[in-house]
Amino acid sequence: MICSKEVKTRIFYSLFSIFFAILFVVSTSNMVIAEQFNIEVQIPETYKTVTPGTEIWFTTNVINLGNTNRIDVVLNSEIVNETGTVKVSKTKTVAMETTASFVNSITLPEDLPRGNYYVVVSITFPDRTVESREQFTIQSVDNKLFRIIGISLGVLIFILIIFFIIKSNKPNIEKMKLHMKIKEIIKKRFKK
């Protein structure tokens, strides 16, 4: 079968157009996917106020509005201070279809100063990042416990000191008791 040059040219341009259409759809699919994701982070009330060195637990809810197939998503979780400085980060790859909920935790460094911080969870795509954040507070370690322990130790030390004083003076106390008995005996004899 012999094709004319014109037919070959039309076939070539048609294939060329289809190739670029497919290339355009594939290259822009990440943008479409990014716009179809919704992400939300939630911190339970018991973790809204924490101390340095403890774990903070949070739930991440991800909704995939545009894809019904199972895909892998990279979740980046960060602890960020009020100025936007990242203090701790953790990355996790998760598989999901339309909706997913993930429970996660991050251990806070011991040296974090008091203040307001954010848990920021994000999904990054080549052209943009979808993120959600929620605030929590870091407070200093409770001084009430240290006061109770200090007072208890003080009382214990006081009792031990009294015990050792009494124990070390036991011979003197025995002498005093003997001396008092002798006085009583002498008083009784002279009264008669």
Question: What residue ranges do the domains of the chain occupy?
Answer: 1-35, 37-138, 143-191
> Using only C-alpha atoms, what is the Rg of the chain?
39
CATH class of residue range 37-138: mainly beta
Give tens-digit pLDDT for 71-92.
Answer: 777 889 999 999 999 999 999 8
Q: Alpha carbon 22 to chain centroid distance? A: 44
**pTM exceeds 0.75 for this model:** no
Give tens-digit pLDDT for 36-60.
Answer: 778 899 999 999 999 998 999 999 9
The CA-atom distances, in angstroms, between 138 and each of 44, 54, 90, 103 are 15, 10, 19, 20
Token code pair at residue 161? 């000191």
